[in-house]
Every structure is written in structure tokens, then in C-alpha cells.
Structure 1
């Protein structure tokens, strides 16, 4: 899977840079002649004669799905293969860790299953994240919290295969959502607002002049305007998808036709109060408990540090 991705990435890079590399024929030959990924009734296998038959936290046998996006569910059979492989892998309890559920969340996001992605992240939080917001296995590890952040990103925005996908896998509970200057592949800065379950507008700023294809998620006819509100030329690139020619530094605003939404960027209101993390709530200190200015200062300083970290 990594070899296939590597060869295709080398070819893409050579084309982008205008390089006629002498090794390009070899890079084309390897993916064309390699054996198909081995599968059985449970989905993708570890190797041609090695099924996935016991619990393991990592998804090395699923790299073609995520993060390489070599298998994306573009056909019914491929989608069924991904769903079967994912369910089989996560279904083995015993050696699962937090990293399992972040990977499962991102794969679910690839398939557009926002509810499943949120459920998997909930498993991470309830089963593995500690009361101080930290994560550990045999000791403290950071890759799982970072991958959890990426899983959130994958639910909100995906950019692979030459297309930017805005809000591709949101659960129903995320009816209001705002992103601002979210960097995508192709050196675009994405800003977008969703209110009451409806995407109101999408703005893209090009930092390199790369081809811009965006699945905006706005229902019905749309219009595209530049930074001064003037109409921009665009073409349809599939259902809910547009292709826009943007030069370096140009921007495009996509809205429903005739709509002029508020373009203010502001935080959204949380759905509900979240469980308290970290230190207990502060309690009033009775006069007889005070031990002088120095001790009080040390205590307040410690609380301040913990607040800043959390």
C-alpha cells in the first residue's frame, strides 16, 4: 500500500513540478503490475496468507483506506470492502487502544459517516482519556491525542484526490459550525459557516494559484463571487461540486443563489455544558484556612498554571 502510494505521489510531484524524470516509467510500472491487495470474507488481510485474526490497536493493513486514500469507497464494492474491514478490525476487543478509535473515526469520516465518527471519538474519551485530559498506554503518548485532533479535522474538511470537501462527515448534533482559514491541500485557506444544519457560505483563498475543485455542500443552485463581490466564472464538477480558476492571492465566496449571508466569523454556542475536567471547582477559603500571602500566592499560581494547560 505504501509502495503504491509512493509511486503515484512521485508521478504527481513530477507532473506538478514539470520534471521529466527518467524513473517515471518504473513508477508507473510498479502499481500497474503489483498484486491486488489480499482480501477474505472479513475484508483486507495482513498478507496473502495472513488474515487479520486477532485484536491489535493499529490499522497497518488498512493504510490504503486511511491515511493514503488509495481505497475511498468510490464504487459500491469498494465501499463494502472498507466497511467490512473496519467492522472486523474494531470488533476484536482485547488489544484496542485509543489510536484504534481515532483511526476508525477518520475512516468513518472518509465514508461520510459522521455519527459513526463521533461515536468512535466518544469511545476514546470515555475509555482512554484520563481525568486530567491526558492519554497513556504503558506510559504517556502523544500520537493518539494528535490523531484525535486530525479525526475532528477529517469530519470537518477533507482535501485529497484533487478535491476539497467541506463539512463531509458531520453528526446531526453539530448543527452550527465555523471554520476560519483552515489550510487544505493545494495551498487554500478555507473559511465556512454552517447554521441550523445548513451550510451558509464557503470562502477559499488561494495562496499558490493551484486548481480549485470544491464540494461545498450547499443545497441547490449556487453563485460564486470574488473578494469584491463580483461574479466569478465557474463550472460544475459533479453534484454539489464546482471548479473555479483562482490565481495566487484570489478568493472565491460560494453561497446559495441570491443569498447574502452574514460573513462574520464568530465562535458558535456549545450544545450543552461539558463535563468538568482537571482540578475541582474552587471553593471559598475561610479566614482561618489562610496561611499568609506567600502560601496563598503559590496556590493561586498553581491553579492558574493548571487552567492555562487545560
Structure 2
């Protein structure tokens, strides 16, 4: 099996979780790391047996097959484009871009270069989602017409980039995108949406509740940084519903309740950091010379960020760099 050599851009918490997960993926290894902080890059590389590069250009010129991007939102598009133009496949942390317009620029480069590009949205690759899809294929709940999902986390420390509008901070892009994924996965693209919420004094969304009409139904999602909210989700169909238990974005357990009284429990323990499942799928795609994922397609990424664009507009939230 061809070994996929990864380079990582960024050394924050999500990049570390990615590297930890990669150790659980057969036929994949971390080869190179770059960060704006040279000391952080050297320490990170030492922890995972990789080479620390002095510049992003050096990383892109090194002997790697793919790049994982784990930097703040506002740099995702720039690094994705540079990596694909350098000849590498890209797995970019969510959100892949801060707006649909920016994402279209990234996807145009992916099409022009013929390189694999995938947004790193972990839920669909977890064993629980795989088992749930298999079960619903055999014993469906009918057409899914309603999706409810969300969670809120008030423990983000003061001074974090999520409170900085110049860094595209706020709850929508950071955690609201998970709800956007679930809604668009089961209901299709958004047609219209209404949003209520709160902005911080600095101008980022502290809380947002979004009601959306989709091609096949209605979704209700919420996200926040100033309240604590449970993290379960529900898929409602014509003859039953699914409850994906907390934390649904790192799913381990689901309950299916049918209108005839039957209940089915699905348990699917996960191993590693959880990011290993999306990494393994990405490696399979790269070995097959694919340019996008059938489980997280470019169309799905477009649908997710389009929903969040509309939600932001409903709050009157415009980032400084968009003015």
C-alpha cells in the first residue's frame, strides 16, 4: 500500500489532534511541519518524528504527497491554493473558506490543477455514521423532513481568536458549520433562512439560531459562545426519528425510534483522536487518484458555507476584511 506522506501547516490544538490520529492510519505518516512559530514547529515535529520546515515554501517543496491545513479560518484559502499549485492534495480544516465566494476561488484552483481537495468535516467518517447509514438503508425511517442540531460552549477563553472579527471569529464558522453539515447532508441545499442571535462588542457572533428551508425539509441549528448547550441532534422522518446522542459531531451512540414502537440502539466506539477516520478516507481517495470525496463533496462544502453566509447576513455580521 502506497504510504501517504503528510505535511502540516499549523501547530495548534487541532493540528496536534490530526497528527495523533494519523498515527492510527495504516499507510500514512507525518513527514513535515511548518508554523509561524519556529520553536513550536520544532517541538511539534519532534513529538511526531517529522521534519520542521523554516518556511511554508520549504514545506511545499519537501517530499510530501498531501497537506493538512490546521490554521485560523482566514488563512485556509491562501494555504490551500498554494499547496494545490505546488502539486499537493489538500485536506483543509473546516471551514474550508470563510465565505462561498472564497470557497469558489479555492475549488476553481482544485479543478484547474486536478488535485484532490477535501474539507475536514469529521462526522460522516465516524463508525457511528457508517453504521447508522447502513441500518437506515435496511430499515428506513422514511424521507427525512426535519433536522435539529447544535451546541454551545461558553468556555472559550478571553483573548481567543474566536473573539476577533479580523480572524473571522464567532460561533457560526467554528461550531455552527457542524449543524450546517448535518442539515445539508440530509435535507439538501438551503433555499432560505432566518437567523436570530447576539453579537459581541468586538463584532463576532456570540450566539446564533438558524431556521432554514431546504430542498427536502426544514432545519433548526444553533451555536454559541456565551451559553452552555447540549450537543445532541435529531433526524425526523415519516415513520421514525433518530437521536444522535452527545457529542453528536464526534458520534458514538444513536437511538432510532419508529412509529410502530420499535427502538434500535446503535453503539460504535471510536479509536484514536477521531480525526483518523477522515484521514484514512482521504488517503484512500488519493491512492485512487480521486479529486473529491463522495462522502464530503465539493457541493456539500458549498451548501454548508452558503447556509452560514445567509446566517451571517441575517445577523448583519460582516468581517472587517469584507468591507
Per the normalisation by structure 2, the TM-score is 0.29
Per the normalisation by structure 1, the TM-score is 0.30
Give the structure with the higher percent helix: 2
Higher relative contact order (CA 8 A, sep 6+): 2
Give the structure with the higher percent strand: 2
